[in-house]
Amino acid sequence: MQEPQKKNWWRRNGFWVVPTAILVPVAGCVGFVWLLLSLIFGIIKSSDAYTHSLAAAQADARVQQAIGSPIHAGMFVTGNINVNGSSGNADISYTVTGPNGQGTLYVTAYKAVGQWTFTSLVFMDSKTGQRIDLLTSP
């Protein structure tokens, strides 16, 4: 009678080694990109231009009527913010959602002597295309 052949280490574990050798580096790269994007969006979302514009949209009765209340900001922000001490500028846009719909908030502002001044703050309803200038009274 013949003895069964013993499998070497590669034959016993090859099924797990190859996927692991591929998935670990891919997961590391995906994690790094996610971390980098989270940091960038976190920095932008913590800026005064972003927080003041979101507060203005949440407090505006016309925006509340268009998409409902409560109003929340979306995950992604596009544009840029440059701050250098007490001066800077911001040109950003981001999605805001409510229970009845969503829209995009477009923000242009500059910072001088530590104070942000909005040059444009416009909400555009995604469903109707209606534009609401938040810098004007209702």
Q: Would you state the pLDDT for residue 64?
A: 93
Can you give the length of the chain in residues?
A: 138
Q: Measured in Å, how far apart are the chain's first and last C-alpha atoms?
A: 95
**DSSP state string for 94-117:** EEEEETTEEEEEEEEEEEETTEEE
Which tokens go with 8? 């070497």
Helix (H) or strand (E) holding 65: helix 61-67
Q: Which of 110, 117, 125, 111 is nearest to 57 (CA)?
A: 125
Q: Identify whether the C-beta of residue 71 lies closer than 8 Å to the C-beta of residue 43.
A: no
Instruction: Dump pLDDT digits (tens) for 35-94.
Output: 998 888 888 888 889 999 999 999 999 999 999 989 999 888 999 999 898 899 999 999
pTM of this structure: 0.77
Return d(Cα 124, Cα 50) in angstroms, integer. 16
The vertex-71 CA angle with 34 and 91, nearest 5°, equals 60
Q: Would you state the pLDDT for residue 18?
A: 81
Q: Which of 109, 25, 105, 31 is nearest to 62 (CA)?
A: 105
